[in-house]
Amino acid sequence: MNAIEVRDVTKQLSHFTIQGLNFSIPKGYVTGFIGQNGSGKTTTIQLIMDVLRPNKGEIKLFDAPNRDVETKQRIGFVYDELYMYQHVTINQMRSFIKPLYDTWDDNLFNYYRREFNLPTRQKIKEFSKGMKMKTSLLFALAHDPELLIMDEPTAGLDPVFRRELIDLFHELMEDEKRTIFFSTHITSDLDRLADYIVLIDYGKIQLQQSMTELEENYHLVKGTKEQLSAIDKEAFLGVRVTNQGFSGLYQGDTQSLLLLQTDQPMVIEKPSLEDMMYLMKGKKR
């Protein structure tokens, strides 16, 4: 069973269109959802969370419609901003949120509150950005969700706290029933965490692969413009040319490229997720 299934989903907004989205998120793994700012990540998550309704298509969570109330009980959600009452303390906020979840666990709430070192008497509006993110995670985790959906949770956070969050996500995934769907444009966070990657660009899914498949099948090729002229550019999933030469993202066996070697050999490396996101930007597939 997949935790999330998105089938032929289209959403027309005044300034943006999600077009024919098709992807699935396997249960029990961490899937990174990557793309540049404005690529459609937040809109897609809002569709999954039933904040927005698609013009066409279908979205299922745990094989049930995403509008199903019981299914929503199984989800923890973390926005990049904290959408809670700001003039209350976290204990007062708990009194509002706790009744919404049949699986709410005060022991878990108190455990994560202590782990995150969050004060009980200070009002939420006085919290720093890092403290607000911890507060959002606290309430997302306190009902022990099977699916944790996060929209840019590390954006704007300092590197130390980002590493602490990654360590926390590793601990959460020790429960093999847990699934994490993690939207971010900070791809270095996913290098240490993700099992699968979904790449979106201009409202279209460009790629969905496991990290193992990415490592085995994708290559970063660098060379001179003369070498590029001997290669069909369509062989690349994306290419950037400068005065110094070219960098291209290549899928498959690179043996044919090695036959084109000249006195100055081409360089073939493993691409980072950032390389892939950059080189596939604007690529029509």
Cα–Cα distance measured from residue 211 to residue 262, given in angstroms and rounded to the nearest whole number: 32
Look up the domain containing 30 and give its range: 2-213
| Averages of pLDDT over each 10 residues, the chain, 285 residues | 95 90 95 90 93 95 92 89 81 92 95 92 89 90 94 79 84 86 85 91 91 92 86 82 90 76 79 90 58
Phi and psi torsions of 258, nearest 5°:
-65, -25
Give the total number of structural domains in the chain.
2
Cα–Cα distance measured from residue 29 to residue 225, given in angstroms and rounded to the nearest whole number: 41
Which pLDDT does position 2 carry in this prediction? 93
Cα–Cα distance measured from residue 199 to residue 211, given in angstroms and rounded to the nearest whole number: 12
End-of-domain residue from the set 159, 186, 213: 213
Q: Does 12 fall in a domain?
A: yes
248 and 173 in a common domain: no
Q: Does 284 fall in a domain?
A: no
179 and 41 in a common domain: yes
229 and 163 in a common domain: no
End-of-domain residue from the set 185, 213, 241: 213
Return the CATH number at 81.
3.40.50.300
171 and 54 in a common domain: yes
76 and 55 in a common domain: yes
209 and 195 in a common domain: yes
Cα–Cα distance measured from residue 255 to residue 247, given in angstroms and rounded to the nearest whole number: 17
182 and 272 in a common domain: no
* 85-90 LR contacts (CB < 8 Å, sep 24+): 85/124, 86/123, 86/124, 86/125, 87/123, 87/124, 87/125, 88/123, 88/124, 89/119, 89/120, 89/121, 89/122, 89/123, 89/124, 90/118, 90/119, 90/120, 90/124, 90/135, 90/138
End-of-domain residue from the set 191, 213, 235: 213
126 and 18 in a common domain: yes
230 and 95 in a common domain: no
Which pLDDT does position 285 carry in this prediction? 46
Q: Does 285 fall in a domain?
A: no
Q: Does 146 fall in a domain?
A: yes
Q: Does 110 fall in a domain?
A: yes
275 and 192 in a common domain: no
Cα–Cα distance measured from residue 138 to residue 133, given in angstroms and rounded to the nearest whole number: 9
CB 245 within 8 A of CB 196: no
22 and 122 in a common domain: yes
DSSP designation for 285: -
Q: Does 180 fall in a domain?
A: yes
166 and 264 in a common domain: no
Q: Does 106 fall in a domain?
A: yes
